[in-house]
Amino acid sequence: MDEVANGNSKYHIIEIMACPGGCVAGGGQPYHHGDYDIVKKRAAGLYNIDGSKELRKSHKNPAIVALYNEFLGEPYSEAAHKYLHTHYFDKSVVYEDTCNECTCAKEADATI
């Protein structure tokens, strides 16, 4: 992580799985290759792990409660929406127009 922060890494983005064991149906999960029984077993295992945790509900997490009390105010407040919500929109036209100029892709010898 220090190398990324210092600009000494070939990586530009690193995705971190924060949930113990990963998130149910999260992007970091092993691919099931059509065997949905594996998906069901993995989900059941993750739910069992979650069920044994002392802190299970995000709205009761002391760090989240403090964040709202000290910074965001109420749920659905303007600040909560600004900092916690995202919006998705189609960027393909912008991306297609600029991908040939993308120096990071050329440096990494990547195919876009």
pLDDT attached to residue 111 = 46
Handedness of CA 59, 62, 66, 67 (dihedral sign): negative
Read off the pTM.
0.47
Sorted by where each begins, the domain ranges of the chain are 1-55
Between the CA of residue 60 and those of 44, 57, 69, 70, what are the distances in Å? 23, 5, 12, 15
Q: What is the pLDDT of residues 35-82, one digit of tens each?
A: 888 888 888 888 888 888 888 888 899 999 999 999 999 999 999 999
Q: What is the pLDDT of residues 15-29, one digit of tens each?
A: 777 776 667 666 667
Per cent of the chain over pLDDT 90 is: 21
Q: What share of the chain is helix, strand, coil (3-state, %, to 5)?
A: 50, 0, 50
Radius of gyration of the chain (CA): 20
pLDDT attached to residue 46 = 83
